[in-house]
A and B are shown apart, each in its own frame.
Chain A
Amino acid sequence: MTIVDIGIPRRLVEFTVDGETVRVPEGLTILDACTATGTDIPTLCYGDTLEPANACRVCMVEVEGSRTLVPSCSRKAEPGMVVHTGSERTRTSRKVVLELLASATDLSTTPGVAEWLAETGADPDRFGPDAATVAQPAIVDNELYVRDYGKCVLCYKCVDACGEQWQNSFAITVAGRGFDARISTEFSNPLPESACVYCGNCVEVCPTGALSFKREYDKRADGTWDESRQSATTTVCTFCGVGCNLTLHVQDNEIVKVTSPHESSVTHGNLCIKGRFGWQHVQNR
């Protein structure tokens, strides 16, 4: 969430980040405050349009007086708090958490992770060749999007977006527990038999590419997906009168996917099946 629009005047909270005194509006999380004041804290499960699930534990910071590290994405900044974002303890934690994730999950389509792994000196291979992973075949059971759970880090964002936070479809859940926990429909039934309404909002919030549009998935598979050749144009959806913003991603004069700007006050990144997927007619020639 950006901190530019503060709405009604709020009190300022003064606290310390890495030795610098910062003042931010009351109610901001440590992560928001750090982002706003220019301190970069990596995170995977943070969703700018969702309540923090604080499950990935990549954004952990040290707060003086706290027995454990704290998730910066969900802990509110408090007056007088002394936060360290780059201490030995936080760096070790970030490195090991990334190693654990990278050793169990295919992070090849997760933006940012390669850089963080390099920065922290993480070595996911040190758990040995027999380390358990969540590798599994991708599920292609419909024409609109693909579920590739070998890439899933269980950030809960798709479940939250599908459930009470946005779509209210409740088609997917976290099932099982521990290392066997996974995103699933009821009884792992195929998506077309579930409550899914194909709004694609789960794909919109997925941080790893575990959920992707079928078009993108196919193009990646045949080697023709190339973001450097893509342009993005934001326009207004023409299907109904709500006025949702659409961002058309175009490659080689062909729409390859549709997203929605998260800062849009109408949609906050959410769309329906028509806005998200109803664009084939544009390129029927």
Chain B
Amino acid sequence: MDLKLLDAVASREEEEAVAGFAGGGRDQLLPALHAVNDRVGWLSQGALNLICETLHVPPADAYGVASFYSLFALEERPERVVHVCTDLACRVKGAETVCEVLTEHVGAAGKARGGVTWLRGPCLGVCERAPAALTFQAGDPATTELVAPATGASAVLAAQREPSPSDGSPPLIHQKDGLRLLRRVGVVDPSTLDGYRATGGYAALRNALRMGEAAVLREVTDAGLLGRGGAAFPTGRKWAATAAQPAGPHYLVCNADESEPGTFKDRVLLEGDPFALVEAMTIAAFTIGARQGYVYLRGEYPRALRLLRNAVAVCRERGLLGTDIMGHPGFSFDIEIRRGAGAYICGEETAIFNSIEGFRGEPRTKPPFPVEKGLFGKPTVVNNVETLVNVPLILTGGAAAYRAIGTEASAGPKLFCLSGNVERPGVYEVPFGTTLRELLALAGGVPEGRSLRAILLGGAAGGFVRPDELDLPLTMEDARAAKTTLGSGVVLVLDDLADLGGFLLRIAEFFRDESCGQCVPCRIGTVRQEEAIHRYLAAGSDERALLREVGGVMRDSSICGLGQTAWNAIESAIDRLGALG
């Protein structure tokens, strides 16, 4: 392919940012865009041209990719950008007030003033400390500062001064007993391998290497581990199907693009126990025959990025990644961390592939499924962070002991993300089968003097549960029977003062913003859904029939899960809470 490049020339800073990518291919496009955006704060035509020349990517293609992600700017903007989360949990906790104060003191959202601009944005994944704001300061090195919980005053301060390089406080776990997945979080220093090993780390990989691939596969399958990303697919089956593919190489992708509003469990694991993920991925790679793994980490998790980078580097140094791992001849595996750039859709398993390969993060049509044709067209396993972190548990205690936790169909421990109007928001670990009431009690219930209005279960793509449904056992099968879903483990509590209409509007807005735009039902349907809710809130017109028809077609005819679930929460608000009527 002969490239016709732009005439625009890169600045010296831009050149320096791109210098490290010489000899790279298209799959380095996202990292290269990040490098310039981090250094300068935005992507000029000159910078894009240089990236295209360096990686041999057509400029139009690179522009299409860059314009897909919300963390990249293609027009000049200040070096400091404050992202204020206006999503579900933050909205419940007063994000709008933060926005009002910012508008008053810093100016309108998106307007550059005094070297800074602030933006309203989707969930930052720190819902336990809502409302949250995250400052990005371009430079060498780029810095970030997380302000959470934010007030109007602290957000204004964050906008007005250079960020003090901080990626937030370590995750705090309220729960003390019965922890398996979270047992190291807040207890063991997440930056040292020795701390990890002293608490049983790498015993599972040792067992796995001793047992051999087939036995590991059997153990994981017998344990009944279901994916924790929302779809609940049996992990053993996914691994077995990939392992059996004759085409090579095989890839492992850890989906750490936790972007479902109200979800922050994977962040807590990544920040609190990053070595556990590295070990789990190494076991998975051994089992499916992968030599290369990717962690696709959302761009809004600076602390997780720092700790995971450290964990990967330390493991590489100590022979736990690389060649002949743990002295096992011929077993080689390494991990690359790939940072997302602000796109919820990139949590969809096939959109991740496109994003890593340097294309727009649009989902692919299935079939073919990832186990057959995934990353770079090769057999690939995609697993969520929480799913993987369950694997060492299985391989140290055995499938039978693991199966003893939870229920027959939903085995093991499960993380739930409690946020909103709840006394102690945070991540809680319970066995599957715990009721919603018990879980709520663990988090201290609704604050004194207020009563429960509803719970959003499973996230923006989930559904509402009424106060009279709190005896619902939290299992995949019970949720399904109750026509709801556990999704990614969101338990967002709304009290009697919550503005349900505004909340539903935000859900609709979220899907409209995050649709990739590839297929008609989702691209236009999400817009019509939002418009109908606006009309209802403004004029009280009955839009339910229209919403049902458009929602039903989004569910039936969209390419991927985003469009297929974009109407779930609103439908359940109508059906279960009598909203919008």
In contact, B60 and A93 (Cβ under 8 angstroms): no
A54 to B525, CA, bound (A): 17
Residues in B367-395 with C-beta less than 8 Å from chain A: 367
Chain A residue numbers with a CB within 8 Å of B515 are: 177-179
Which of B3, B60, B519, B556 has a CB less than 8 Å from the CB of A55? B519
Q: Known contacts A89-B556, A100-B550, A170-B1; decide if A55 and B64 are in contact (CB<8 Å).
A: no
**Chain B residue contacts of A126, Cβ below 8 A:** 546
Task: A180 to B45: give the CA distance in the assembly, Å.
Answer: 20
Q: Which one of A19-27, A68-76, A253-261, A276-284 is at the B interface?
A: A68-76
Contacting pair B58 A170 (CB below 8 A): yes
Q: Is there contact, CB below 8 Å, between B528 and A187? A: no
- Nearest chain B residue, comparing its CB with the CB of A174: B64
For A194, what are the chain B residues with a Cβ–Cβ distance below 8 Å? 4, 60
CB distance from B354 to the nearest CB of A (A): 12
Assess whether B303 is interfacial by the CB under 8 Å rule. Answer: no
Does A208 have its Cβ within 8 Å of any Cβ on chain B? no
In the complex, chain B residues whose CB is within 8 Å of the CB of A71:
365
B contact residues around A14 at 8 Å (CB): none
Cα-based distance from A128 to B531 in the complex (angstroms): 9
Q: Mark A117-158, 1 if CB is under 8 A from B, else 0.
A: 000000000111011100000000000000000000110000
Q: Does B428 contact A (CB under 8 A)?
A: no
Distance (Å) between the CB of B238 and the closest chain A CB? Answer: 18
Q: Least Cβ distance of B528 to chain A in Å?
A: 5
- Give the Cβ gap from A54 to chain B, nearest Cβ, in Å: 6
Residue in contact with B527 in the complex, picked from A89, A154, A179, CB distance below 8 Å: A179
- In chain B, what residue has the closest Cβ to A179? B527
Docked complex Cα distance between A168 and B61 (Å)? 12
Select one of A74, A97, A172, A180 contacting B60, CB under 8 A: A172
- Chain A residues contacting B513 (CB-CB under 8 Å) are 178
Taking a contact as CB atoms under 8 Å apart, the answer to whether A177 and B68 are in contact is: yes
B552 at the A interface (CB under 8 A): yes
In the complex, the answer to whether A185 meets B60 with C-beta atoms within 8 Å is: yes
Q: Interface 1/0s, chain B 40-80, versus A by CB < 8 A?
A: 00000100100000000011111110011000001000000
Instruction: Verify if B34 is at the interface (C-beta below 8 Å from A).
Output: no
Closest chain B residue to A126 by CB distance?
B546
Instruction: Please tell me which one of the listed residues B45, B516, B558 contacts residue A181 in the complex, with CB atoms under 8 A apart.
Output: B516
Do A173 and B527 touch across chains, with their CB atoms under 8 A apart?
A: no
Chain A positions 43 through 62: 1 when the CB is less than 8 Å from some CB of chain B, otherwise 0: 00000000000111110100
Q: A203 within 8 Å of B by Cβ?
A: no
Asked whether any CB of chain A lies closer than 8 Å to the CB of B298, the reply is no
Q: Is B232 engaged at the interface, CB distance under 8 Å to the other chain?
A: no
A92-B552, A186-B59, A195-B60 known; A127 vs B531 contact (CB < 8 Å): yes
The answer to the question of B151 belonging to the interface, with a C-beta cut-off of 8 Å to chain A, is no
Is A154 within 8 A of B523, CB to CB? yes
Closest A residue to B555 by CB, please name it. A68
Q: Is B343 an interface residue (CB 8 A)?
A: yes
A237 proximity list for chain B (CB < 8 A): none
Q: Which residue of B lies closest to A102 (CB)?
A: B524
B559 within 8 A of A: yes
Partner of A178, one of B61, B365, B514: B514
Q: Does B549 interact with chain A (Cβ within 8 Å)?
A: yes
Q: Which residues of B contact A60 (CB under 8 A)?
A: 556-557
A180 and B553 form a contact (CB under 8 A): no
- Point out which of B343, B549, B557 has the most chain A C-beta atoms below 10 A from its C-beta: B557
Bound state CA distance, A171 and B3, in angstroms? 9
Q: Cβ of B531 and Cβ of A130 under 8 Å apart?
A: yes
Most chain B beta-carbon contacts within 10 A, residue among A101, A103, A168, A175: A175
- Is residue B518 contacting chain A, with contact meaning CB distance below 8 A? yes
Instruction: Fill in one digit per residue for B559-575: 1 if any A CB lies within 8 Å of its CB, else 0.
Output: 10000100000000000
Residue from A57, A100, A163, A173 in contact with B63 in the complex, judged by beta carbons closer than 8 Å:
A173
Q: Which of A93, A154, A175, A179 contacts B512 (CB 8 A)?
A: A179
CA distance A130 to B532 in the complex (A): 11
Report yes or no: A103 in contact with B521, Cβ–Cβ below 8 A. no
Chain B 1-46 residues near chain A, CB threshold 8 A: 1, 3-4, 6-7, 45
Tell me how far the C-beta of A97 lies from the nearest C-beta in chain B, rounded to whole angstroms. 5
* Given known A173-B60, A174-B517, A175-B67, contact A93–B524 (CB-CB < 8 A): no
A174 CA / B60 CA spacing, docked (Å): 9
Cβ of B535 under 8 Å from chain A: yes
- Known: A96-B549, A177-B68. Contact between A74 and B365, CB under 8 A? yes
Q: Does A230 contact B (CB under 8 A)?
A: no
Contact (A184, B60) CB under 8 Å given A55-B519, A127-B531, A194-B4: yes
Contacts of A171 in B (CB 8 A): 4, 58, 60
Contact assessment for A177 and B520 in the assembled complex, using a CB-CB cutoff below 8 Å: no
Give CA–CA (A126, B535) in the complex, Å: 13
Additional pairs, 19, CB under 8 Å, beyond known A184-B64, A195-B3:
A55-B520, A68-B564, A69-B556, A74-B365, A127-B531, A127-B546, A130-B531, A132-B531, A153-B520, A154-B517, A154-B523, A171-B58, A173-B61, A176-B517, A177-B517, A178-B514, A184-B67, A187-B6, A195-B60
Would you list 16 pairs from A and B whose C-beta atoms are within 8 A, ordered by A residue? A68-B555, A69-B556, A92-B553, A93-B557, A97-B553, A100-B520, A154-B523, A163-B61, A169-B4, A175-B63, A177-B360, A178-B515, A184-B67, A187-B74, A194-B4, A195-B3
Q: Which 5 pairs across A and B sit closest by C-beta, in order of nearness?
A: A181-B517, A170-B58, A173-B64, A195-B4, A186-B59
Residues of A within 8 A of B (CB): 54-58, 60, 68-69, 71, 74-75, 89, 92-93, 96-97, 100-101, 103-104, 126-128, 130-132, 153-154, 163, 168-181, 184-187, 189, 193-195
